[in-house]
Amino acid sequence: MDIFANLAHGFAVALSPINLLMCLIGALVGTLVGVLPGIGTIATVAMLLPITFGLPPVGALIMLAGIYYGAQYGGSTTSILVNIPGEATSVVTAIDGHQMARQGRAGPALAIAAIGSFFAGCVATVLIAVLGAPLTKLALAFGPAEYFSLMVLGLIFAVVLAKGSVLKAIAMIVFGLLLSMVGSDIETGASRMAFNIPELADGLGFATVAMGVFGFAEIIRNLDAGAEMSRDLVQQKITGLMPTKKDLIDSTPAILRGTVLGSILGILPGGGATIASFGAYTLEKKLARDPSRFGRGAIEGVAGPESANNAAAQTSFIPLLTLGIPPNAVMALMVGAMTIHGIVPGPQVMQKQPDLVWGMIASMWIGNLMLIIINLPLVGIWVRLLRVPYRLMFPSIVIFCAIGIYSVNNAPVDVILAGVFGLVGYWLIKHDFEPAPLLLGMVLGPLMEENLRRALLISRGDWSVFLTRPLSAVLLAVAAGLLVLTVLPSLRSKRDEVFTESEN
Amino acid sequence: MTSIRTLTSGACAVALASLCIFTAPAKAQTYPTRSITMIVPFAAGGPTDVVARIVTGHMAQTLGQSVIIENVVGAGGTTATTRAARAANDGYTLITGHMGTHAASVPLYPKLAYHPEKDFEPIALLAGTPILILARKDFPPKDLNEFVTYVKANAEKVNAAHAGVGSVSHVSCELLHSILDVKPVSVPFSGTGPAMNALVGGQVDYMCDQIVNAVPQINAGTIKAYAIATPQRNPSLPNVPTTAEAGLPKFQAQAWNAMFAPKGTSAAIVASLNAAASKALDDETVKKRLLELGSVIPTAAERTPEALATLVKNEIAKWTPVLKPAT
Amino acid sequence: MADTMGHSATATRNTRLALGFCLLAIAPQIFELIWSIGTIFGWGAGRGPGTVLTSHVTALLAGAPSAIFGSFGGGTKKMSSEVLLALIYTYPLLVVAILTLFMTVRSAQDYVGGVVLMAVALFALWAGSDLQGMRGFSFGAGTAPRMFSGLLVALSAAIALTGLLTDGPAMAHYSWRGPLFVVAAILFFALAIRPLGVVVTAFISFMIAATGSQETRWREAVIVGACLTLGCAILFPYVLGLPMPMLPRFLIQ
């Protein structure tokens, strides 16, 4: 078979000492960047891009790819330990992962995240090698109408993941959508709700808002009088580092489902990976016998989304490797790296640059192996970090977050905005609003609006395109079904509450 | 290794910097005495960034100081350009601007905080990037003449794509439409990647874009090119006719990258930067890498600060009537 | 209602809430006024405090009412941004504040949460009011923001309503020390990083943030802060290659 010859060739390339070293550096830097709150993958790859000029192209790309998926491993660490998601894809990991950490189960949460990511990474790598070319058709079949429907589905996921009131969750999504409207209009370039602040011209950054409503708000809340007790409790309770047999049994199906979902959605450029992790969480919550455990430290709530986002991180290479079209900002930077080396990727990159493509695919598997070897022993160190007294921990987190946010655009205004969102987040906590739906609304908002407008432009204002295009119709049907499933029971229980109270 | 590399280079920089502090009085006359910051108004890895890195890499050798690239993104590059306009005019902060930031921005952003002519000292034109008229592979017209007739006849039905307001693909398509005197629906995408994806996937009919991204797609047959909007054919696409050959000589457009310093930078500094840039453009490796990108390297006459000043003036005059009514 | 004690207690509570909402209703105007004071010292460009004050007061007291009555007469002249702010944001919130006086709030957490969120939505509605709406079949710049703001007004009203209809938790306790010092540390960082560099900024920000907790032990905090600063100074500019100044600008030049 051709494929084995290709893979063998790829491994021969990837196993050369220099490429192994590049892969290791990429994995290490990726882990570091993922762990540090605020510093995103995009910023890091952009910073390190100049260094790759002096390297051979294959090595350079192996390293950059390593940073990209390494950050997916590292990102879950901060989400679980300190409730600060660094990327949109790790927002859901924070929900149950951090609850597990509060119950003294940070070790199992981190370990299962690493194991799930490893499994998903391996499967997705094989998928790229075997099915890369046919799967490309999916990416091309997705037009604006399909993307809009997918985003609608994504927003329904956000409703499902809410722990408390559905009404409040929907309000938070809409709040997030509204925040995402800040910036420039895509069609006319008009400045929207930016109050003539130049830094707002391109909208609020995800990292800025996420650091604010998760990171800073969490710190401020923990400083409240009376919060010391629960904190100290967390530090004393730390039990086993590795997952128990029961944890493994519980999370195996979640990892499998997450991997499948992530692999499929990862191929779609723009937002695919985010929707994959939210979708995996929703799926687990809907399939669970006792959905009330979710949001209170369910290990499936970590295993599913983490597998999904790592699978998606791998399969998102497919459009780049088969079409030469970068599906997201990090990939666009990799295209930049290739161009600097005189390789302009296109549909024939697989035939013209077999070393590069197959070497990269093989290195992904090797990289994932390295990452699990790096990350499992690190679990012990991370958990020990939780024992650092909070009075020293919180100023350090403040500084790391501030530097991280500043580094994204070298803009002090971003840091101030994150501080403002910290206060907003504190207020949200006090009024029992959840920040996760807000962030999802913020990430999906622009994608939804832009694709809706594109679809309507192309159809000349005919809304029926969303139903006449089969893929789009299916996605909308799934969304509608899910909404009914979610809203009905909660309405019923709400009504029961109202009735029981009025009887008294 | 990266860390060691950066660490040592960092250490060298510190050593150099301290050296500069002590030796500064002695050689205060010779610019540059410390590293130069080059602002690139777009993301690392983009066409402008690649050009800036290739050229400044060589310039650093000539000047004997490192050139640090700072990518500042936002608002079609105008955020970065505003920052550069306000920077100290000591020759240590420069900007690699392009057609968008230093010409098309004038009509596009009425509240622009700088003026390309009044707030900058032109240094040198670095590279030109030809623009192509591209279409999905099953779009009916076979050549440019048919395309013109088809678009004019079906202006209500066709969809043009562009990579966002103010992008090269947007402004050049607006120029094409104004020449053809049609107003088809323009579908905006967020960046060249998604726009190209939609064109390859057949979601939209045609677009105008820079040569860099299009060559591999054209060679693979996933999209087709009608013409190149430059006076000469490009070596990377020898079979694509120029707009003049194909029957639309009025459509001439080229994205260009050029180096600017804040207004008031001394003539001596501008001259030494211009000389370094010109030397870089004559270097064989630099030439080769720019040509690989499909770029057109400016001739010696086009590289002077005066020529750049004229170019900026002409470009503003060219784009203003095209883009004013569009916004 | 027979329990007069309880009634008077909710009454004082409601007056305070209503006063709070009134303050919220004119918060943007107050903010602009404070901001405009800066122009006296030459910071930033904009209108002076005098102009800001008179334009808002006329808009609130005269412009907006006349615009409301004018609309009955069919007059459709373009309204100024201050009048729009009063119409879209301040008046609805004042109405809510007055209504609050007559309501029994059963869950202050939900009620206040809903009302404040509504204020945010109304403010967004105003902020997006200058944007173009639908043009034929294509969306204008303002279509989606207005759609979402409208939706959020409705949803937050529903949340506020649940706060009136169902029993729920009261207002949570807010503390001031943590938020104050953490935000102060962030602000200091933002303002100082460019002129003062990583080393000075990170250390001082660390110390400001540490003041936010009463558990802080100073000697320990200084040592940890210094180590952290050193770590950051090596990690960010060198290992990760982020372009940020290390030392204060005046030391370098």
Residue A296's contacts (CB-CB under 8 Å, 6 or more residues apart) are A96, A99, A163
Quote the percentage of chain A above a pLDDT of 70. 93
Cα separation of B317 and B174, whole Å?
15
Using a CB-CB distance cutoff of 8 angstroms, which residues of chain B are in contact with residue C238? 3, 6-7, 10
Cβ A392 vs Cβ C220: under 8 Å: yes
Considering only CB atoms, which chain C residues are within 8 Å of B6? 238-239, 241
- B195 to chain A nearest CA, in Å? 10
B93-98/B254-262 β-pairing: antiparallel
Question: In percent, how much of chain B has pLDDT > 90?
Answer: 2
Is residue B254 within 8 Å of B100, Cβ to Cβ? no
pLDDT digits (tens, 9 = 90+) for A455-465: 888 888 888 88
Interface contact B197-A323, CB threshold 8 A: yes
Q: Which residues pair with B296 in a beta bridge?
A: B128
CB–CB contact A140 B189 (8 Å): no
Residues of B in contact with A409 (CB under 8 A): 72-74
- Looking at residue B9, what is its pLDDT? 46
Return the closest-CA partner of residue A263 out of A310, A324, A323, A320.
A310
Nearest CA in chain A to B195: A325
CATH tag for B130-246 (out of 3.40.50.170, 1.10.10.60, 3.40.50.2300, 3.40.190.10): 3.40.190.10
Chain B residue nearest residue C234, CA to CA:
B7
For residues A246-268, average pLDDT: 88
Q: Residue A122: pLDDT above 50?
A: yes
- What does pLDDT average to over chain A? 83
Res A283 pLDDT > 60? yes
d(CA A66, CA B43): 20
Q: What does the pLDDT read at residue B18?
A: 41
pLDDT-above-70 percentage for chain B: 89
Cis upstream peptide for B32 (omega within 30°):
yes
Which stretch of A120-134, A276-290, B62-76 has the lowest confidence by average pLDDT? B62-76
When pLDDT is averaged across residues B258-265 and rounded to a whole number, the result is 87
pLDDT for residue B4 is more than 50:
no
Among A398, A441, A413, smallest CA distance to A215 is for A398
**How confident is the model over A17-49, as pLDDT tens digits?**
999 999 999 999 888 888 887 777 777 787 777
Residue A454 CA, distance from chain mean position: 25
- The yes-or-no verdict on residue C224 having pLDDT over 50 is yes
Residue A412: closest C-alpha in chain C: C190
Query: CB C232 to CB A453 under 8 A?
Result: no
Q: In sequence order, what DSSP letters do the residues of chain C get, joined into one string?
A: ---HHHHHHHHHHHHHHHHHHHHHHTHHHHHHHHHHHHHHTT-SSS--HHHHHHHHHHIIIIIHHHHHHHHHHT--PPPPHHHHHIIIIIHHHHHHHHHHHT---S-HHHHHHHHHHHHHHHHHHHHTTTS---BTTB--TTHHHHHHHHHHHHHHHHHHHHHHHS----PPPP-SHHHHHHHHHHHHHHHHHHHHHHHHHHHHHHHHHHTT-TT--HHHHHHHHHHHHHHHHHIIIIIS------S-HHHH-
Instruction: Please list the residues that pair with B225 across neighbouring strands.
Output: B134
> What is the rounded distance in angstroms from the CA atom of residue B198 to the CA atom of residue C247?
48
Rounded-to-integer distance, Cα A320 and Cα A353, Å: 13
The length of chain B in residues reads 327
C186 pLDDT above the threshold of 90: yes
The two structure tokens encoding residue B229: 């909007």
pLDDT one-digit tens code per residue, A42-83: 777 877 777 777 788 888 889 988 988 888 888 888 888 888
Amino acid identity of A198? P
Of B10, B70, B185, the CB nearest to C237: B10
Write b or e for each residue in B117-128: b if 16 or more Cβ atoms lie within 10 A of its Cβ, otherwise e: eebbbbbbbbbb
Q: What is the DSSP letter of B31?
A: S
pLDDT tens digits for B175-186? Answer: 888 888 888 888
d(CA A471, CA C196): 55
Average pLDDT over residues A161-177: 86
Contact B188, B110 (CB under 8 A): no
pLDDT band at C60 (very low <50, low <70, confident <90, very high): confident
* pLDDT band of A427, cuts 50, 70, 90: very high
Both tokens assigned to A265 = 């959605």
Give this complex's ipTM: 0.87
pLDDT of C80 higher than 60: yes
Which residue, among C101, C95, C89, has the nearest Cα to C18 in the 3D structure?
C101
Q: What is the DSSP string of A76-114?
A: HHHHHHHS--SSGGGHHHHHHHHHHHHTT-HHHHHHHHH
Q: Which residues of A touch C124 (CB under 8 A)?
A: 178, 181, 193
Residues B96-118 have a mean pLDDT of 83
Q: What angle do CA A38, A41, A44 make, to 5 degrees?
A: 90
Both ends of chain C: CA-CA distance in Å?
74
Q: How open is the CA angle C86-C91-C96, to the nearest 5 degrees? A: 150
Q: How far is B185 from chain C (nearest CA, A)?
A: 10
pLDDT for C70: 63
- Rounded to whole angstroms, the maximal C-alpha distance in chain A is 77
Chain C contact set for A216 (CB, 8 A): 182-183, 186
Q: Looking at residue B6, what is its pLDDT?
A: 44
Q: What is the pLDDT of residue C151?
A: 93
For residue B144, pLDDT over 70 is answered with yes
The region that residue C244 occupies, defined by phi over 0 for left and psi between -120 and 50 for alpha, beta otherwise, is beta
Q: Which chains touch C (3 or more CB pairs under 8 A)?
A: A, B
Predicted local confidence at residue B5, as pLDDT: 44
Structure tokens at B256: 């260009």
Q: Are strands B36-40 and B159-162 parallel, antiparallel or unpaired?
A: unpaired
Cβ-nearest to A140 among B50, B201, B212: B201
The ranges assigned to domains in chain B are 35-129+254-323, 130-246
In whole angstroms, give the CA distance from residue A419 to residue C81. 28
Tokens representing A40? Answer: 């995103």
The chains in contact with chain A, meaning 3 or more Cβ pairs closer than 8 Å, are B, C
Question: Cβ A431–C185 below 8 Å, yes or no?
Answer: no
Task: Give residue C7's pLDDT.
Answer: 46
Q: Is the dihedral of CA A231, A236, A240, A241 positive or negative?
A: positive
Residue B44 contacts residue B62 (beta carbons within 8 Å): no
Looking up tokens 């971003």 gives: A414
Tokens in use for B301? Answer: 């006459």
User: C119: pLDDT confidence band, cut at 50, 70 and 90?
Assistant: very high
Helix (H) or strand (E) holding A48: helix A41-48
Tell whether the model's pLDDT for residue A331 goes beyond 50. Answer: yes
Q: How high is the pLDDT of residue A347?
A: 77
Q: Is the pLDDT of residue B45 over 80?
A: no
Residue A232's H or E segment, with its range, is helix A228-237
**C131 Rama class: left (phi>0) / alpha (psi -120 to 50) / beta:** beta
Residue C231 is predicted with a pLDDT of 87
Architecture per CATH, B35-129+254-323: 3-Layer(aba) Sandwich (3.40)
Mean pLDDT of chain B: 80
Burial of A178 (0-12, 13-18, 19+ CB in 10 A): buried
Confidence check: pLDDT of A502 > 60: no
Tokens 């991204």 correspond to: B213
- The CA distance from C239 to the nearest CA of chain B, in Å, is 5
C240 pLDDT higher than 60: yes
Residue range A344-366, pLDDT digits in tens: 777 777 778 888 888 888 998 89
- Touching subunits for chain B (3+ Cβ pairs under 8 A): A, C
Whether the Cβ atoms of residue A41 and residue A207 lie closer than 8 Å to each other: no
Cα A283 to its chain centre, rounded Å, is: 16
> Other CB atoms closer than 10 Å to residue C180's CB: what's the count?
15
User: Which residue shows structure tokens 């591209």?
Assistant: B134
CA distance B268 to B262: 14
Burial profile A211-250: b = 16 or more Cβ within 10 angstroms, e = fewer: bbbbbbbbbbbbbbeeebeebeebeeebeebebeeebbeb
Q: Please, are residues B286 and B58 in contact by the beta-carbon 8 Å criterion?
A: yes
pLDDT at C170 exceeding the cut of 60 = yes
Q: How far is Cα A232 from Cα A387, in angstroms, rounded to an integer?
A: 9
Question: Strand, helix or coil at B134?
Answer: strand
Look at residue A310 and give its three-state secondary structure.
helix
A18 touches chain B (CB under 8 A): no
Contact call for residues B125 and B277 (beta carbons, < 8 A): no
Whether the CB-CB separation of A76 and A97 falls below 8 Å is answered with yes
Residues of C within 8 A of B3 (CB-CB) are 238-239
Binning pLDDT at 50, 70 and 90, where does residue A369 land? very high
Average pLDDT over every residue of B312-317: 85
Residue from A98, A118, A91 nearest A298 by CA: A98
**Residue % of chain A over a pLDDT of 90:** 12
Q: List the beta bridge partners of residue B141.
A: none
- Three-state SS for A155? helix
Per-residue pLDDT at C219 exceeds 50: yes
Find the CB nearest C243 among B7, B70, B185.
Answer: B70
Measured on CA atoms in the order A281, A283, A288, A292, is the torsion positive or negative? positive
Report whether pLDDT(B203) > 70. Answer: yes
> Over 60: is that where the pLDDT of B308 sits?
yes
Assess whether pLDDT exceeds 80 at residue A495.
Answer: no
Q: Report the half-sphere exposure of B295 (CA within 13 A, side-chain side).
A: 30
Q: Can you tell me the mean pLDDT for A311-339?
A: 82
Interface contact C240-A33, CB threshold 8 A: yes
At residue A72, the pLDDT reads: 82
CA distance C211 to C213: 6
Between A175-179, A222-226, B103-107, B317-321, the lowest mean confidence (pLDDT) is in: A222-226
Partners of residue A86 in chain C, C-beta under 8 Å = none
Specify the pLDDT at position B87. Answer: 81
**pLDDT range class, residue C252, cuts 50, 70, 90:** low
pLDDT of residue A230: 60
Q: What is the pTM of this model?
A: 0.84
pLDDT for C77 beyond 60: no
pLDDT at B157 over 80: yes
Q: Which residues of C touch A170 (CB under 8 A)?
A: 155
What are the structure tokens assigned to C197, written together?
A: 């560099």
User: Among B225-239, B299-313, C39-53, whose mean pLDDT is lowest?
Assistant: C39-53
* Interfacial C residues in 71-110 facing A (CB < 8 Å): 109-110
Structure tokens at C33: 């006024």
Can you say whether the dihedral through the CA atoms of B251, B255, B258, B262 is positive or negative?
Answer: positive
